[in-house]
């Protein structure tokens, strides 16, 4: 069976939708060590499915890998594929977390979706799966929730 060619190192357009996006995974070089890998995506955009107005968020994804790591270019392309899609904050945040968990089968994964206020109210969405191994240091996600001035 031929080895699947990664998107890394070659021109790859942004997928038309999350369903068409391909998430690549690579072998974890430290499978016997518990550690946290973090991706922070400060320019996440999705369209409101009711008003078609854009919603903006910072996504923070933390996970403790087993055998696999998500390849960062494919993750960036996948997250950018939401920008013209209609989805509520809760729908896209949880779907991203579940897709990554299904691909990577990590020991533990959490995602925080910190959405900018629109219509006067921010919505932050949090989802996690698995059990955080004892003794693993996980810093705060570092994104302040919205505070009115």
24, 55, 62, 92: the catalytic one is: 55
Give the per-residue pLDDT at 1. Answer: 47
48, 62, 92, 124: the catalytic one is: 48
Answer CATH for 25-130 from 3.30.1130.10, 3.40.190.80, 3.20.20.150, 3.30.365.10: 3.30.1130.10
Section 15-33 average pLDDT: 96
Q: For the purposes of burial, counting CB atoms within 10 Å of the CB of 20, is it exposed (0-12), middle (13-18) or buried (19 or more)? A: exposed
Question: Confidence band (pLDDT; 50, 70, 90) for 118?
Answer: confident
Task: Give percent above pLDDT 70 in the chain.
Answer: 95
Has 48 been annotated as catalytic? yes
Among 1-10, 22-31, 74-83, 122-131, the least confident range: 1-10
How far does Cα 69 stand from its chain's mean position?
Answer: 13
């Amino acid at each position: 069976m031929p080895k699947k060619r990664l998107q890394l190192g070659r021109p790859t357009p942004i997928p038309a939708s999350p369903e068409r996006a391909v998430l690549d995974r690579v072998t974890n070089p430290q499978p016997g060590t518990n550690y946290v890998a973090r991706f922070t995506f400060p320019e996440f955009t999705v369209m409101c499915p009711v008003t078609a107005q854009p919603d903006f968020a910072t996504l923070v994804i933390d996970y403790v890998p087993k055998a696999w790591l998500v390849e960062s270019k494919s993750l960036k392309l996948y997250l950018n594929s939401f920008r013209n899609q209609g989805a509520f904050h809760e729908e896209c945040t949880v779907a991203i977390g579940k897709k990554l968990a299904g691909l990577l089968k990590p020991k533990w994964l959490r995602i925080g979706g910190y959405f900018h206020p629109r219509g006067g109210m921010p919505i932050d969405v949090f989802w996690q799966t698995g059990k955080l191994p004892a003794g693993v240091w996980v810093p705060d996600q570092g994104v302040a929730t919205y505070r009115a001035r």
